[in-house]
């Protein structure tokens, strides 16, 4: 059997990962509402295409949306092409029987006729069964290098939203809110150090906060610039930061 | 502790110990079912497919067993792993089983009603696989599809007639599948006792392969060869699948012999399907091949108004016209754009007007503007006619150059917001009257010269999809 090679980020399904905890600001307001609509029984949003640059929080939103469905005892499948290099299209077989299918990073989908055909069949089957589909991508559907016109036209019919990059002020707000939920003190000096010395992508910043929380507990030290420096030194070479 | 609770407890511990990706990909899709009638109690962990099953069994199998034994305090707990489903959708069975074994309408209806997440608008009849919402009433007629629509209505009206097979062809997302379902739905409505079946070509192929594997090929043949009407979508997917073509050929002959109706759709004219046996191509052309072209502006406006109404929204003409002007390639893209406009209006409480449409479709409009530039049109046309770009922009007047140039100007007028003088300027500083003449000429030629019409359609598709 062909095996997917995996490079998992060391992030657990944090209880704090939820749609409610994603930054709700003018840049993200409509998307959050659209995702809530997708989660609901609404007929409007059954196929959702969420796209945006790296680090805008697509992965976070994908997992928090998945978590909502799981909490509602629905049956979901989650296929990510970010770190998983599936060599066999049989990973898609039977997924239309799930209530919701999540496909992450379709822009990294193998550029191959058999994969495109497999996804095309899955979309048709989901459509026929009434299953929901949420696909994420760095690129809008129109810009994807898809050879099969039938697949591309189906992707174009999804309800598509761009997850925009949020401003630095909004990032600080997101960090503060996340820190508050974890009961962490995360003062302005540390915030500005983190913003200036690590990846500025929201998802990386939020992951860093999770790591800082664990690290601070392990070291029994409160969060400070020096602790951030130690963590970064410790995580050198990590794929997440 | 009940089975459900101890399984959910086990999943919780896995959720705690695994990464999000691992948990979501491998554990979340699993279900646990009790194998009834077995002593001592035995359970199966069900995975949606073999790929997930094998991965889970190898990587998490021992851990899942240990956890379940610890949680239930039962070291003898008997657990195996298999492919299967126990959710509501499982009851539907797959289409093949439904078609071959279950001819019970009541049961099918009941199963449909039990689904947790059925979308009413796309509810499927499990016996025929027909989507109820795809009717002639919900199909928007226009210049680009009126012949196909008329032929479809005729075929649906009389069960056995001369248009056999009815072969509907055209680009993606133009409504071929909708018409096909509409025929099936009307046939079923008029003759509820008739056996009608819609199937996508890919599904036909995979069902056939599965039947061969299960030794049920004679049931498969019997099912398809005894229908009163068989509707096969996207016939181009049979290309280079010799065995499936063989089966299709015999099915085709059998159905025609007993006077059953066949309706086929394809993305191109029968003779142009590469990788398809000549005998099939020839048979596909026996009946009536009808084309669906990309919808022209007026039809696109009508489609938008109709789709909006289906979604419960009243759109004004100006807004529909604006979207139709900007989104030109196919009905699916129109649908996607409309969904986004309506969702944005819904979630912001703003009225749908041009400003909201521009806001909600800004990325799409930017892509459109970037993709359909005069420059891009010139390059695409030069490549299509196999002439040099410099010739296209030159003063040469030979027909082999002048016609592609006129075509480029016509497409530039249709696909960009450039004025006539601006287009003239982009073609080596020509006067706007030259552009006007080119546009008139191509418009005239399209009406009576099939080759020009075909060129236009191909170029339009290449530039807008």
**Greater confidence, A89 or B369?**
A89
Is residue B374 a contact partner of residue A76, using CB atoms and an 8 Å limit? no
Residues A122 and A187 in one domain: no
Question: A112 CB contacts (<8 Å, ≥6 apart)?
Answer: none
From A164's Cα to the closest Cα of chain B, the distance in A is 11
Residues A26 and A79 in one domain: yes
Place of tokens 């949020």: A166
Joined together, the tokens standing for residue B426 give 């982009």
The answer to whether residue A238 scores a pLDDT higher than 60 is: no
Report the predicted TM-score, pTM, of the whole model to 2 decimal places.
0.75
Residue-number span of the structural domain to which A97 is assigned? 6-162
Q: What is the ipTM of this complex?
A: 0.80
B83 reaches A (C-beta below 8 A)? yes
For residue A99, tell me if it sits in a domain: yes
For residue A121, tell me if it sits in a domain: yes
The enclosing domain of A18 has a CATH number of 3.40.50.300
Percentage of residues in chain A with pLDDT exceeding 90? 36
The answer to whether residue A235 scores a pLDDT higher than 90 is: no
Place of tokens 């004004």: B316
Is residue A107 a contact partner of residue A115, using CB atoms and an 8 Å limit? no
Nearest Cα neighbor of A3 from B24, B23, B26 is B26
pLDDT of residue B369: 64
Please indicate whether, in this complex, the C-beta atoms of A12 and B25 are within 8 angstroms of each other: no
pLDDT of residue B99: 36
From B336's Cα to the closest Cα of chain A, the distance in A is 4
Residues A205 and A139 in one domain: no
Report the distance separating Cα B227 and Cα B199, nearest Å: 12
pLDDT of residue A12: 45
Nearest Cα neighbor of B193 from B105, B113, B123, B130 is B105
User: Distances in Å between the alpha carbon of B255 and those of B201, B204, B262?
Assistant: 17, 16, 8
Of B172, B342, B348, nearest to A150 by CB-CB distance is: B172
For residue A1, tell me if it sits in a domain: no
B28 reaches A (C-beta below 8 A)? yes
Residues A209 and A154 in one domain: no
Among A146, A162, A178, give the residue marking a domain's end: A162
User: Distances in Å between the alpha carbon of A136 and those of A50, A90, A106, B362, B434?
Assistant: 5, 20, 6, 19, 47
Give pairs for A20-23: CB < 8 Å, separation 24+.
A21/A64, A21/A177, A21/A178, A21/A181, A22/A57, A22/A60, A22/A61, A22/A64, A22/A174, A23/A57, A23/A166, A23/A170, A23/A171, A23/A173, A23/A174, A23/A177, A23/A202
For residue A93, tell me if it sits in a domain: yes
Residues A152 and A196 in one domain: no
Residues A125 and A172 in one domain: no
Residues A101 and A144 in one domain: yes
Among A107, A132, A162, give the residue marking a domain's end: A162
Q: Write down the H helix ranges in B60-200.
A: 61-72, 95-100, 105-114, 146-157, 176-190
For residue A123, tell me if it sits in a domain: yes
Burial class (CB in 10 A: 0-12, 13-18, 19+), B103: exposed
Instruction: Show pLDDT as tens, one digit a residue, over chain B (465 residues).
Output: 454 688 989 999 999 899 888 999 999 999 998 888 777 778 999 999 999 999 999 999 999 999 998 998 888 888 999 998 765 444 443 333 433 333 333 333 333 333 333 333 345 565 788 988 899 999 999 988 999 999 999 999 875 556 899 999 998 889 999 999 999 999 999 999 999 999 999 889 988 998 998 889 999 999 999 999 999 999 999 999 999 999 999 999 999 999 899 999 999 998 888 899 999 999 998 889 999 988 888 899 999 999 999 888 889 999 999 999 888 778 898 999 999 999 999 988 999 999 999 999 988 787 666 667 888 899 999 988 989 898 999 888 888 899 999 999 999 988 886 778 888 988 988 998 999 999 999 999 998 898 999 899 888 878 876
Residues A132 and A194 in one domain: no
Please indicate whether, in this complex, the C-beta atoms of A75 and B31 are within 8 angstroms of each other: yes
A44 reaches B (C-beta below 8 A)? yes
Report the distance separating Cα A130 and Cα B121, nearest Å: 10
Angle between helices B297-310 and B317-326 (to 10 degrees): 120
User: Distances in Å between the alpha carbon of B347 and those of B43, B139, B363?
Assistant: 45, 29, 18
Nearest Cα neighbor of B66 from B5, B1, B13 is B13
For residue A240, tell me if it sits in a domain: no
B92 reaches A (C-beta below 8 A)? yes
For residue A241, tell me if it sits in a domain: no
Residues A102 and A213 in one domain: no
Please indicate whether, in this complex, the C-beta atoms of A130 and B330 are within 8 angstroms of each other: no
The enclosing domain of A224 has a CATH number of 1.10.8
The distance between the two most distant Cα atoms of chain B, rounded to a whole number of Å, is: 90
Joined together, the tokens standing for residue B68 give 């379940």
Q: Give me the number of domains chain A comprises.
A: 2
Residue B169's H or E segment, with its range, is: strand B166-170
Whether the bond between A131 and the residue before it is cis, its omega within 30 degrees of 0, is no
**3-state DSSP percent of chain B in helix, strand and coil, to 5:** 60, 10, 30
Report the distance separating Cα B162 and Cα B164, nearest Å: 6
Residues A96 and A178 in one domain: no
For residue A133, the cross-strand partners are A47, A101
Residues A118 and A197 in one domain: no
For residue A230, tell me if it sits in a domain: yes
A98-151, pLDDT tens digit by residue?
Answer: 999 999 999 998 888 889 999 999 998 898 888 999 999 999 998 898 888 889
Report the distance separating Cα A159 and Cα A201, nearest Å: 25
Mutation target among A15, A26, A42, A128 for the B interface, most CBs of B within 10 A: A128
Residues 392-451 of B with CB under 8 A from A: none
Please indicate whether, in this complex, the C-beta atoms of A44 and B343 are within 8 angstroms of each other: yes
Among A108, A129, A162, give the residue marking a domain's end: A162
Residues A113 and A52 in one domain: yes
Joined together, the tokens standing for residue B8 give 């959910």
- C-alpha count within 13 angstroms, C-beta hemisphere, residue B321: 3
- Taking residues A196-214, report their average pLDDT: 80
């Amino acid at each position: 059997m062909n095996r997917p090679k995996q490079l998992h980020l060391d992030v657990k399904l944090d209880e704090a990962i939820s749609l409610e905890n994603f930054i709700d600001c003018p840049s993200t307001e409509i998307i959050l509402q659209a995702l809530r609509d997708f989660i609901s029984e609404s007929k409007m949003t059954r196929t959702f295409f969420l796209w945006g640059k790296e680090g805008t929080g697509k992965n976070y939103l994908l997992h928090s949306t998945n978590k909502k469905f799981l909490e509602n005892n629905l049956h979901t499948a989650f296929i990510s092409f970010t770190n998983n290099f599936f060599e066999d299209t049989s990973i898609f077989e039977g997924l239309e029987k799930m209530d919701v299918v999540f496909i992450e990073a379709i822009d990294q989908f193998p550029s191959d006729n058999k994969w495109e055909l497999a996804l095309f069949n899955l979309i048709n089957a989901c459509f026929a069964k009434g299953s929901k589909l949420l696909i994420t991508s760095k690129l809008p559907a129109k810009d994807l290098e898809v050879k099969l016109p039938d697949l591309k036209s189906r992707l174009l019919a999804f309800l598509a939203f761009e997850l925009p990059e949020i401003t630095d002020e909004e990032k600080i707000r997101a960090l503060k809110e996340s820190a508050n939920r974890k009961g962490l003190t995360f003062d302005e000096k540390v915030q500005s150090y983190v913003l200036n010395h690590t990846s500025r992508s929201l998802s990386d910043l939020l992951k860093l906060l999770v790591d800082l929380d664990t690290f601070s507990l392990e070291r029994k030290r409160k969060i400070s610039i020096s602790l951030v420096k130690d963590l970064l030194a410790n995580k050198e070479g990590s794929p997440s930061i | 502790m009940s089975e459900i609770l101890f399984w959910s407890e086990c999943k919780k511990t896995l959720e705690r110990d695994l990464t999000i990706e691992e948990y979501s990909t491998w554990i979340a899709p699993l279900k646990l079912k009790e194998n009834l009638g077995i002593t001592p109690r035995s359970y199966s962990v069900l995975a949606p497919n073999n790929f997930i099953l094998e991965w889970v069994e190898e990587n998490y199998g021992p851990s899942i067993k240990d956890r379940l034994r610890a949680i239930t305090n039962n070291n003898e707990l008997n657990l195996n792993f298999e492919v299967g489903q126990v959710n509501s959708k499982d009851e539907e069975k797959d289409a093949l089983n439904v078609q071959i074994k279950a001819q019970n309408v009541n049961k099918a209806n009941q199963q449909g009603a039990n689904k947790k997440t059925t979308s009413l608008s796309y509810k499927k009849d499990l016996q025929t696989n027909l989507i109820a919402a795809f009717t002639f009433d919900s199909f928007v007629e226009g210049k680009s599809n009126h012949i196909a629509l008329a032929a479809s209505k005729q075929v649906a009206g009389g069960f056995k007639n001369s248009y056999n097979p009815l072969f509907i062809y055209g680009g993606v997302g133009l409504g071929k599948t909708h018409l096909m379902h509409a025929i099936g739905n009307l046939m079923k409505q008029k003759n509820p006792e008739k056996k009608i079946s819609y199937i996508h070509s890919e599904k036909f192929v995979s069902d056939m392969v599965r039947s061969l594997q299960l030794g049920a090929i004679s049931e498969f043949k019997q099912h398809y060869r005894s229908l009163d009407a068989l509707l096969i979508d996207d016939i181009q997917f049979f290309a280079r699948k010799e065995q499936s073509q063989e089966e299709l050929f015999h099915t085709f002959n059998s159905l025609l012999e007993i006077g059953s109706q066949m309706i086929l759709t394809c993305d191109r004219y029968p003779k142009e399907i590469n990788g398809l046996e000549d005998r099939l191509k020839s048979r596909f052309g026996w009946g009536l091949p009808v084309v669906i072209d990309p919808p022209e502006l007026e039809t696109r406006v009508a489609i938008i108004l109709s789709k909006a109404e289906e979604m419960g929204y009243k759109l004004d003409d100006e807004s529909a016209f604006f979207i139709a002007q900007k989104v030109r390639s196919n009905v699916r893209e129109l649908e996607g754009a409309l969904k986004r406009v309506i969702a944005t209006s819904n979630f912001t409480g703003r009225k749908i007007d041009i400003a909201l449409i521009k806001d909600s479709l800004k990325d799409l409009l930017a892509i459109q503007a970037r993709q359909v530039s005069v420059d891009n049109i010139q390059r695409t046309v030069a490549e299509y006619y196999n002439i040099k770009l410099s010739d296209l922009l030159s003063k040469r007047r030979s027909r082999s150059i002048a016609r592609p140039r006129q075509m480029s100007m016509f497409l530039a007028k249709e696909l960009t917001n450039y004025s006539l003088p601006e287009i003239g300027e982009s073609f080596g500083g020509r006067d706007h009257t030259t552009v006007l003449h080119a546009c008139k000429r191509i418009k005239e030629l399209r009406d009576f010269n099939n080759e020009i019409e075909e060129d236009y359609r191909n170029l339009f598709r290449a530039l807008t999809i």
